[in-house]
Structure 1
């Protein structure tokens, strides 16, 4: 299969200027909008632990959601190609991040997909497809 180059564009607009910009660490909001042409805007902020708004999407949640969704979509593709009929899929993913003076970094992302397949689908093949989807 030939490689295809795909490009994506996301506009992130900071909306947390409370009149003084970033003059003081505690004086500005972490609110922002994530905009992608043709799609609904996402209300973003930092995690509440970093002075963010807990009612908005934070980058850590979005990173974990992207990992989980990518795995799910590739799994569904591989299942369809293998003749495994999936009727439901749920992933309760969890991630861990370490924050210190130099910033933060993810140290783990654990996906826990639960899949329902039809009675005539092969459970062993369904399980093996998860391993293939990790690659």
Structure 2
């Protein structure tokens, strides 16, 4: 049962990141109209660095695909982790209303990392 729950969560998590990554290229989800001023200035600063948004989009797509595939999930979790840290920090500092969703996503990512901890041991030993 635990494996089925984990698979469904990983599937949804991966699809969400694939969608977010594709949105960086095709811009089909508009930005909310009621964003806080500090968030608007932060997004403007991020988009001023022309290579950053495509890089994040590619990482989100690759990480999302790997997160869905059980054999590659450990790699996907590590690839997505820095993006999740950024999402969590942005929500803590600039947009606390999104913190519950960001916290759940970070918990899923950490759960997958813990579940696959034996695959990371060769890197640190």
Q: Tell whether the structures are fold-level matches, with TM greater than 0.5.
A: no
Report TM bin, short chain: under 0.3
Higher helix share: 2
Whose RCO is larger (CA < 8 A, sep 6+)? 2
The TM-score normalised by the length of structure 2 is 0.27
Q: TM-score if structure 1 supplies the norm length?
A: 0.26
